[in-house]
Amino acid sequence: MIGLHKNKRMKKELRLLDVYAIATGATLSAGFFLLPGIAAVEAGPALVLAYALAAIPLIPAIFSVIELATAMPRAGGAYYFLDRALGPMMGTIGGIGTWLALLLTVAFALIGMGAYIALFIPDLQIVPVAIGVALLIGGVNLVGTKKSGSLQVFLVFVLLAILAIFFSGGVFAFQPTHFENFFAAGFDSIAATAGLVYFSYAGVTKVTSLSEEVKDPERNLSRGIMLALVTSLLIYILGTTIIVGLVPMDELQGNLTPVATAAEYALGRTGVILLSLAALLAFVSVSNAGLMSASRYPLAMSRDHLLPRIFRKVGRFGTPTTSILLTLTTIILILILFDPMRIAKLASAFQLLMFALVCFAVIVMRESQITSYDPGYKSPFYPWMQIAGIVSPIYLIFEMGTLSIVFSIGLILVSALWFFYYGRRRVSRTGAIYHVFERLGRKRYHDLDTELRGILREKGLRKEDPFDEIVSRSLVFDLEGEAPFEDVVKLFACEISSRIHLSTDEIIKQMMEGTRLGATPVTRGVALPHFRTDQIEQVEMALVRARQGVYMPIYNPLTYEEEAEVRVQTIFFLVSPANNPTQHLRLLARIAERVDEDGFAVEWDRAKNEEELRESLLQDEHFMTLLIKADKSSGSMINQPLSAVGIPKGCLVAMLSRDGQSFVPNGQTILKAGDSLTIIGEAKGLLGLRGTYQKNE
């Protein structure tokens, strides 16, 4: 009916708190615990301003990533977005490059622990310790995303608690004189320092590679990332302000443990121990978040045949086992063979390029006008926000020096070669960019719309989608004998024409034309003819049950000539306003999902009347029918106006059936014995009504 992706999906185990903790934990590490001392060399006390400026070019990327993630919550994050927007070659470049950049970030964090450990154990070999921590984190990741998320929540909240103690103690020892000659370094040095510390914030977007595992991604991804960004901004700006206010500038410049040094001024030796513990928690936290995020890139690319199929394997704990093992092994090799402290900085330019491409991807997806592109959050100030998000990273890339640019070009070339020699012959899709340029229309990836419709089905309805109300006031036809499809369409058109500003002939033409063009989904004995029009203001629907069958014509997709027919027993007609195509698709997706649920066919077949037919399509907890009988508890409603019977807040009497006729009642409608009320609303209110009027019936 509506296409589903055939690969095994990851378990949705991450809540809003998990998203927030992963995004925050991926951000608060070296940027706060190591970089302030290095930044002070270039900017002096204005390093505080440099941290504030560094966040500005990240904001467009944040908004763009959230929009794409709520439209396409799939494993792989930036890889998936670039692949579907710009095509598989750009997806390969983004996937391999971002995966490697994430691994370098994790290795950098694990080695970065050494500076703080050296405060207490100067002669300790940090590489074996880093490998041990990596193995521990890898083990946690293998046994479940939920466990990894729980570990992340623990790490982040302990870290935030310790930082709160540090900030509170720092206020009392604060020295405003440390901010004298604030702009002495000059704007160029401050801007260059902003480029240096830019990636202190970049980790906040990495959680999008886990978006397939997030419960209610439209809500939890956007809120979690935004909350993490605000938290990170406050900690970086407030924290660097306190560090500068506590540590004399000549001592701060070049200091690799600036937070521990500042803590000693504020809290003494206890502060050093406490903040060193916080630093270790931060490094473990960013390593855990980084490994979780990075391991989803090989999984996503394998699903799309850009990597061998072994990497799409999901183990018994619901985690991508082989992908995690590959990621973990590569991290360990980097720790053994290279100096992550130097290499990780080279990947910064590539990460900036990815942010620019993600902003461009939003422009492409919107301008493609694919109706199934349905983000739960839309970036404000489009397209100017995205244009700024493209220009500012490119400016920073050229400010970072030749070596970083050459390293990024190397990553691009390696990724492109992999695509041409491995991936190109295994994929046939193109990106949404071909939907933008009509002159390339022959190369449009037609399955992209189908794939996005599958995602719509998984995401489900939104709160503003009045599905229950639409079904409760829908027309119902329970046909006795066999009938041709065209006769049923005529019956529907005659009845619905009184509700919409279209003639019977126009409605018949729209429905039959859609069927001829192949736009009517048919599966499991159910047909779903539909169209959109600007002649209605609200969605209209009709339910048809035909136990003896309705015979639908099947047309050749090339010649549009009838070549066969199929027998269906259920038809759902749907007509929606033209100005809301994505809601139309979500309603179709919800019907498709309900039809596929176990037990629907039995409930539908056993329904005794119109109310039960409607009820079989709805979720029980949001819908009920109440028959008013004189000898039952509902008899107290007889001869009462509807407004006096005490319908709970959040519930609505959507339809009243009386003597074979159905209509929408108002508050003054007098209820009579034999009336049947169709009530929709919040589960709690309906539960109360059932307890009052149906418990003994």
CB atoms within 10 A of CB 461: 16
Start-to-end CA distance of the chain, whole Å, equals 38
Segment 492-508 shows an average pLDDT of: 88
Whether residue 415 is predicted with pLDDT greater than 80 in this model: the reply is yes
Average pLDDT over residues 124-140: 84
Phi, psi of 482 (to 5 degrees): -70, 160
Highest mean pLDDT among 336-345, 520-529, 569-578: 569-578
> For the segment 136-161, what is each residue's pLDDT rounded down to a tens digit?
888 877 876 555 567 777 888 888 88
pLDDT at 6: 42
| 36-52 average pLDDT score | 88
- Return the pLDDT at 190: 84
Please tell me the predicted confidence (pLDDT) of residue 384. 92
Cβ neighbour number for residue 6 with a 10 Å cutoff: 8
- Find out whether 480 and 548 touch, Cβ atoms under 8 Å: yes
Q: How does the average pLDDT of the chain come out, rounded?
A: 80
| Rounded distance between C-alpha atoms, residue 409 and residue 404, angstroms | 9
At 342 the pLDDT is: 64
Query: 666 versus 683: which is more confidently predicted?
Result: 666
Half-sphere exposure of 87 (CA within 13 A, CB side): 12
What's the pLDDT score for residue 451? 61
Q: What is the pLDDT of residue 113?
A: 77
Place of tokens 């047909």: 527
Of 454 and 665, the structure prediction assigns the larger pLDDT to: 665
**pLDDT tens per residue, range 293-332:** 788 888 888 887 888 888 877 777 777 888 889 999 998 9
pLDDT in tens, 357-406: 889 888 888 887 777 777 888 888 888 999 998 888 887 777 666 777 78
> In whole angstroms, how far apart are CA 51 and each of 35, 56, 231, 297, 404?
10, 9, 14, 29, 21
Q: Which fold has domain 619-693?
A: Alpha-Beta Plaits (3.30.70)
Q: What angle do CA 188, 191, 197 make, to 5 degrees?
A: 140
**What proportion of the chain, given as a percentage, has pLDDT over 70?**
88
- The better pLDDT of the pair 281, 563 is held by 281
Distance of CA 160 to the CA centre of its chain: 26
Structure tokens at 134: 């990596």
Cβ–Cβ < 8 Å for 215, 74: no
Band of pLDDT at residue 3, cut at 50, 70 and 90: very low
The yes-or-no verdict on residue 696 having pLDDT over 70 is: no
Distance (Å, whole) CA 390 – CA 387: 5
pLDDT at 347 over 80: no
628 closest CA partner among 648, 656, 647: 656
Q: What is the C-alpha separation between 60 and 489, in angstroms, rounded?
A: 49
For 463-616, the fitting CATH number among 3.40.930.10, 3.40.50.150, 3.40.50.2300, 3.90.550.10 is: 3.40.930.10
More confident residue, 14 or 182: 182
Least confident range from 450-454, 625-629, 689-693: namely 450-454
Give the model confidence (pLDDT) of 161-215 as tens digits: 888 988 888 888 888 888 888 888 888 788 778 877 776 777 777 777 777 777 8
Between residues 562 and 696, the one the model is more confident about: 562
Task: Domain ranges for the chain, please list them.
Answer: 16-418, 463-616, 619-693
In whole angstroms, what is the distance from residue 113 CA to residue 231 CA? Answer: 22
In this prediction, residue 563 has a pLDDT band, given cuts at 50, 70 and 90, of low
Q: Residue 92 pLDDT > 90, yes or no?
A: no
CATH, domain range 16-418: 1.20.1740.10
The pLDDT assigned to 406 comes to: 83
Q: How far apart are CA 391 and CA 597, in angstroms?
A: 48
pLDDT of residue 440: 41
Res 244: pLDDT = 92
DSSP state of 10: P
For range 225-248, the mean pLDDT: 90
β-bridge mates for residue 491, sequence order: none
pLDDT (tens digit, 9 = 90+) per residue, 431-489?
555 454 443 444 555 555 566 566 666 666 777 778 877 887 888 999 988 888 889 99
